Structure formats: structure tokens, C-alpha cells
Amino acid sequence: MVAELTGEQPLARSVYAKATHPALPKVTEALASYPVTPGTEDADLSPEALAARVRQAWVLWHGAAHQPSAVATLLPNLLCDTRVAVRQLEGKDRRRAQALLAQVYHLSQLYLSFQPPAALVLMSGDRAMTAAQDADDPHAMAAAAWYVNHVYRDAGEEHEARVGLAHQMCALLRPDKAGPDLAL
């Protein structure tokens, strides 16, 4: 039946595979590396400055016709700088940086969902949840669960696992509504 649609020649993988964005190697390197210094010498690693950069990246994502290209140049330094800030800051500022890092991982996850290597999407989703949990921020954890649910869904994971995660995170947001079956 497929041969009737495509002919006898097999389809080249490039016909049905996701195209690789030109910035993918830099984003991959930023995601897989363990930076000890900011991406740029004069980077302001304060939570306020990082929050402004993260907001700018989200505005670009939501306002661009071609979203991956809009954020591709920002992601490597934003990943690097936010990860470095998490290590350099302490207390409440560190937890805020962790929540911001979770958002940067969400943005990375969206960018990577348009790219061929699915393992990077899983990595960014997992790292986002870890950063949100380390931030001890229920809203950050709920957002991370929402994004991880997309990964579960796209991977064909069972419905119960996705729903269970969503219920656990919702219980954190509204502990007064959490029954014994939703306890963590």
C-alpha cells in the first residue's frame, strides 16, 4: 500500500525526518556541558537580570513566526549563565535561579522538540523537573510537570503515569484539596 503512494523506491530519511537547526550543536553543547564561568565576561548573574533575560527569551518564543530560530542564539548563553548562577548564589537567590533554570530548560525542551535527537528533549525535561524541585517552588514544579507530560505523551507513555504526575504537582499547589491518594 505504501508503495502505491511513494513508488517502488524507498523514501530517503530526509523526506520524513526533522531537519536539524543550524544552532543545534551549540545548544547541545550548552545542555551537555558543565560550565564553571558565565558564557560572557560581563554577564549579570543576579536573579533579577536572569529573570529579565528569561522573560525576553519567552517573548521571542511566543512572538516569532519561526520559534526555534528566534531563541537559538540566546539559549546557549542563557543555559550557561543560569547554571553558573545556581552554583554561585545562595539561599533565596539560589532557589530563584533554580526556578529560572527550570524555565530555561522548558524553553530548551521546546526548541529541541523540533530537532531530531529525542534524547535531548528527555534530558531537558528531566533537568527542568530537578531544577524546579531544587528550587522548592510548587509553581515551578507544576510547570515542569506540564512540560514533562508532553514528553510522556510524545513517547507514548501510559496515561496513568502522566495523570499521576499532574495530580502530585497539583496537590503541591493546593494542599487543602489533596486527598490521601494524592499525597507525595
Q: Evaluate if residue 4 carries a pLDDT over 80.
A: no
φ, ψ of residue 144 to 5 degrees: the values are -60, -40
**Centroid of chain to Cα 133:** 14
Tell me which of 16 and 153 has the higher pLDDT.
153
Helix (H, G, I), strand (E, B) or coil at 7: coil
pLDDT in tens, 101-154: 999 999 999 888 888 778 888 899 899 999 999 999 998 998 898 888 877 776
Does the global pTM surpass 0.85? no
pLDDT in tens, 20-76: 888 888 999 999 999 988 887 889 999 999 999 999 999 999 998 888 888 999 999
119: left (phi over 0), alpha (psi -120 to 50) or beta: alpha
- Single out the residue of 99, 79, 89 nearest to residue 38, CA to CA: 79
pLDDT in tens, 143-181: 898 888 877 776 666 666 667 777 787 777 765 654 444
